[in-house]
Amino acid sequence: MTKLLSVRLVAILVGLGFALIALYSFVVGAYAAITEEAAGHVPYEKPEDIAYSFDGPFGKWDIQQLQRGFKVYDEVCAACHSLKYVAFRDLEQIGYDEGQVKAFAASKQVPGIDPNTGEATMRPGLPTDYFPSPYPNNVAAAAANNNAIPPDLSLMTKARGDGTNYVASLLAGYAEPSAELLEEHPEAAPGPGLYHNPYFPNLNLAMAPPLTTAGQVTYDDGTEATVQQMSEDVAAFLTWTAEPTLVARKQTGWPVLIFLLFATVLAYMSKKQIWAAAKRKGD
């Protein structure tokens, strides 16, 4: 009995500890938010809530949208941003055949070694190669972008809250700051080499608007390439690069949940039967 009471006391203390930690975190977060707002923090917009085919527990990839998004990345974003965790052969997962992948890889130059001299060189890509960086190093990247190094986009939608919507909203959201905003927050005015975007945390970023006009990319399926459409398509593509197994994971989850439910019911019935026999024996 004493041992049981000790275990219960420890469990209560552990639970109380977790509750105090959660309460402390809440108080600290609330205080930080209040003081930040009181200090005149410039408010930024929450990402637009956009419906995608892969949303929800039964979501699926829209292969045509992924291919459109890949085209936007290749023709617009690849000039500054890399996809270092994506191999050319991964494109077969979004509907491209082996020949198309080989041709696309061969059209790109990737770092290699000259077999005769052993010196570093550039060579046509192979399907097993990964998307190359547009810059030889970070110094060159910063020099070409107002001292801001363009981030790799492979995992971007996983690295940002509400990542897919954030990317789409950011790309389509460039605009001049309103007079009301500047009057209340003069610090929101973009400085030299910066561009205003209400979805970026400090409202100004070094990346110039990459998608500026309708028809900037010509889609193979005939979809009208508006700025909003291109933004949503490339955001969907970057969601796939960040988590290519997203849909497969959802599809696997349902059988697992059904099995766990069945196993729980079976375990409960077994427990009832075993303890019923023990109870009869005790009586």
- Verify that 137 and 170 share a domain, yes or no: yes
| SS3 track for the chain | CHHHHHHHHHHHHHHHHHHHHHHHHHHHHHHHHHHHHHCCCCCCCCCCCCCCCCCCCCCCCCHHHHHHHHHHHHHCHHHCCCCCCCEHHHHHHHCCCHHHHHHHHHCCEEEEECCCCCCEEEEECCCCCECCCCCCCHHHHHHCCCCCCCCCCCCHHHHCCCHHHHHHHHHHCCCCCCHHHHHHCHHHCCCCCCEECCCCCCCEECCCCCCCCCCCCCCCCCCCCCHHHHHHHHHHHHHHHHCCCHHHHHHHHHHHHHHHHHHHHHHHHHHHHHHHHHHHHHC
- How crowded is residue 145: how many other Cβ atoms within 10 Å of its Cβ? 16
- Verify that 278 and 258 share a domain, yes or no: yes
Do the annotations mark residue 41 as ligand-binding?
Answer: no
Domain extent at residue 273: 249-283
The residue ranking higher by pLDDT, 53 or 2, is: 53
In-domain check, residue 114:
no
- Verify that 168 and 233 share a domain, yes or no: yes
- Verify that 172 and 141 share a domain, yes or no: yes
In-domain check, residue 58:
no
What is the arithmetic mean of pLDDT over 178-203?
87
- Verify that 35 and 148 share a domain, yes or no: no
- Verify that 178 and 262 share a domain, yes or no: no
- Verify that 195 and 177 share a domain, yes or no: yes
The pLDDT, as a whole number, for residue 213 is 92
What is the arithmetic mean of pLDDT over 68-79?
96
Q: What is the dihedral of CA 263, 269, 273, 274, to 10 degrees?
A: 40
Asked if the model's pLDDT at residue 133 lies above 70, the reply is yes
The pLDDT, as a whole number, for residue 278 is 62
Domains of the chain: total:
3
Do the annotations mark residue 269 as ligand-binding?
Answer: no
Question: Mean pLDDT lowest for which of 140-144, 222-226, 240-244?
Answer: 140-144
The residue ranking higher by pLDDT, 249 or 230, is: 230
In-domain check, residue 49:
no
- Verify that 32 and 73 share a domain, yes or no: no
The pLDDT, as a whole number, for residue 283 is 57
The residue ranking higher by pLDDT, 272 or 179, is: 179
Do the annotations mark residue 80 as ligand-binding?
Answer: yes
- How crowded is residue 5: how many other Cβ atoms within 10 Å of its Cβ? 9
Decide the pairing of beta strands 195-196 and 120-124: unpaired
pLDDT-based confidence at 252, cuts 50/70/90?
confident
- Verify that 80 and 206 share a domain, yes or no: yes
Asked if the model's pLDDT at residue 36 lies above 70, the reply is no
- Verify that 77 and 215 share a domain, yes or no: yes
Token pair belonging to 106? 């061969």
d(CA 91, CA 248): 16
In-domain check, residue 231:
yes
Block residue for tokens 């910066």: 194
What is the arithmetic mean of pLDDT over 185-207?
88
The pLDDT, as a whole number, for residue 226 is 96
Residue 148: CB partners within 8 Å, gap ≥ 6?
A: 142, 205, 206, 207
pLDDT-based confidence at 174, cuts 50/70/90?
very high
- Verify that 11 and 150 share a domain, yes or no: no
CATH number where 210 lies: 1.10.760.10
In-domain check, residue 265:
yes
The residue ranking higher by pLDDT, 241 or 146, is: 241
In-domain check, residue 124:
no
- How crowded is residue 77: how many other Cβ atoms within 10 Å of its Cβ? 21
In-domain check, residue 204:
yes
Question: How many CA atoms lie within 13 Å of 253's alpha carbon, on the beta-carbon side?
Answer: 10
- Verify that 30 and 136 share a domain, yes or no: no
- How crowded is residue 1: how many other Cβ atoms within 10 Å of its Cβ? 5
State pLDDT tens for residues 101-128: 999 999 999 988 888 888 888 889 999 9
In-domain check, residue 201:
yes
